[in-house]
């Protein structure tokens, strides 16, 4: 196989995220951002985001079953999870909704909840031809013993996985 064909084959194996990064890390917090193109209109991407239990990774739930997740997409709504024996967890609280354009939530996800932290997560959808440019930004700040340098890459990796799962679910991949 020629070098050119090897290069083309490797491009085909590249992850679907256009960009993914820890944008900033400081002693008081971090920001991550993921951007990808989705081959579906913004209204469809938005609707799929709200059906979070259908595409979210069960590895990143407390119950190990994404079907237990729900997202009530209105101000004051909950990104919540049902737990066994009548338990539950609020992952985030919905702050702002512009259907087909933006969902913003507040909260510290997963292991971040055990610390004195606040987080702001924004799902931004912009028309791009016949598809959508999806940008997910998660900004976390506050106090966490040991700092944020070790935590930020793990949170970034978790979000990379969720964005890729959402894209794959919508595009049937």
pLDDT in tens, 46-66: 999 999 999 999 999 999 999
pLDDT bucket at 7, cuts 50 / 70 / 90: very low
Q: Enumerate residues 6+ apart whose C-beta is below 8 A from 23.
A: 30, 31, 32, 33, 137
pLDDT above 70 covers a percentage of the chain that reads 89
pLDDT attached to residue 173:
83
Instruction: Give the single-character DSSP code of 109.
Output: -
Q: Check which CATH number belongs to the domain holding 49 and give it.
A: 3.30.530.20
Is the pLDDT confidence value at 2 over 90? no
Strand order in the sheet with 69-71: 19-26, 29-38, 131-143, 116-128, 102-106, 88-98, 78-82, 69-71
Q: Enumerate residues 6+ apart whose C-beta is below 8 A from 98.
A: none
Is residue 9, in this structure, part of any structural domain at all? no
Is residue 104, in this structure, part of any structural domain at all? yes
Is residue 139, in this structure, part of any structural domain at all? yes
CA distance 42 to 133: 8
Is residue 72, in this structure, part of any structural domain at all? yes
pTM assigned to the model:
0.87
Name the residue range of residue 34's domain: 17-171
The number of beta carbons lying within 10 Å of the beta carbon of residue 102 is 16
Is the pLDDT confidence value at 158 over 50? yes
Is residue 150, in this structure, part of any structural domain at all? yes
Over range 24-43, report the average pLDDT: 97
Report the domain count for the chain. Answer: 1
């Amino acid at each position: 196989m020629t070098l050119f064909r090897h290069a083309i084959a490797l491009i085909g194996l590249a992850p679907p995220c256009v960009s993914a990064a820890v944008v900033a890390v400081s002693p008081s917090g971090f920001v991550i951002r993921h951007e990808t193109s989705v081959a579906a209109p913004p209204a469809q991407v938005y609707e799929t985001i709200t059906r979070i239990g259908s595409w979210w990774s069960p590895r990143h739930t407390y119950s190990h079953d994404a079907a237990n997740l729900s997202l009530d997409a209105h101000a004051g709504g909950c990104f919540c999870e049902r737990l066994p024996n009548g338990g539950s967890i609020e992952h985030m609280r919905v702050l702002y909704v512009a259907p087909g354009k933006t969902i913003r939530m507040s909260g510290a996800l997963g292991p971040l909840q055990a610390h004195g932290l606040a987080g702001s997560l924004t799902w931004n959808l912009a028309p791009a031809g016949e598809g959508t440019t999806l940008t997910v930004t998660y900004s976390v700040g506050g106090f966490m013993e040991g700092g944020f340098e070790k935590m930020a890459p793990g949170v970034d990796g978790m979000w990379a996985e969720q964005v890729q799962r959402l894209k794959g679910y919508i595009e049937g991949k």
